[in-house]
Amino acid sequence: MADSPLHPKLDMGQHPDIAALRAQYDMAAQSRSGQSVSGLTFLSGLYLAISPWVVGFFGRSTLTVNNLITGIALALLAAGIASAYGRIHGLAFVVPVIGVWTIIAPWVLPPHAASAGTIINNVITGIVIVACGLACVMLGTMSLHRR
């Protein structure tokens, strides 16, 4: 249908309820706890990206590339959560998924003989990312309960 005076084009992004919900999400992300969570998530992503060179993943090029790519993706996602949580809150569930992947990656990606340092690094980093991800998801639900 064409945009006419009888049939105006409706934009759901401008609906008052959606605008109010986005404002609540943004206020939750701007709180001290929201900034702490998104900051820690961002730092976890950066650490995950540089961890192969910090820990020394010698002979583990697949895991090195995996940690670099997932770390950069996590840092970008955390930056998005920090800057526009009202619009990106639907992607917050990806953060704990990245954390779980980080934990299991040393056993899944070839070659399968990972060193103890590699495994410990990924497990601890993955646990921190899962905790940050659950906190990111909870930011949205906490803002809904404050109404």
Give CB contacts under 8 A, 24+ apart, made by 89-92: 89/25, 89/139, 89/140, 92/133, 92/136, 92/137, 92/139, 92/140
Q: What is the DSSP letter of 10?
A: P
Query: How far apart are alpha carbons 60 and 109 in whole angstroms?
Result: 9
Residue 49 has a pLDDT of: 97
Residue 141, pLDDT above cutoff 80: no
Tens-digit pLDDT profile for residues 37-50: 888 999 999 999 99
Residue 97 has a pLDDT of: 97
Q: Give the position of tokens 């070659």.
A: 111
The pLDDT > 70 percentage for the chain reads 69
Residue 145, pLDDT above cutoff 60: no
pTM: predicted TM-score of the whole model, two decimal places: 0.77
Whether the CB-CB separation of 82 and 39 falls below 8 Å is answered with yes
pLDDT range class, residue 15, cuts 50, 70, 90: low
Q: What is the mean pLDDT of the chain?
A: 81
Domain boundaries defined on the chain = 33-136
3-state SS, residue 5: coil
Taking Cα atoms as reference points, which of 135, 131, 124 lies closest to residue 81?
135
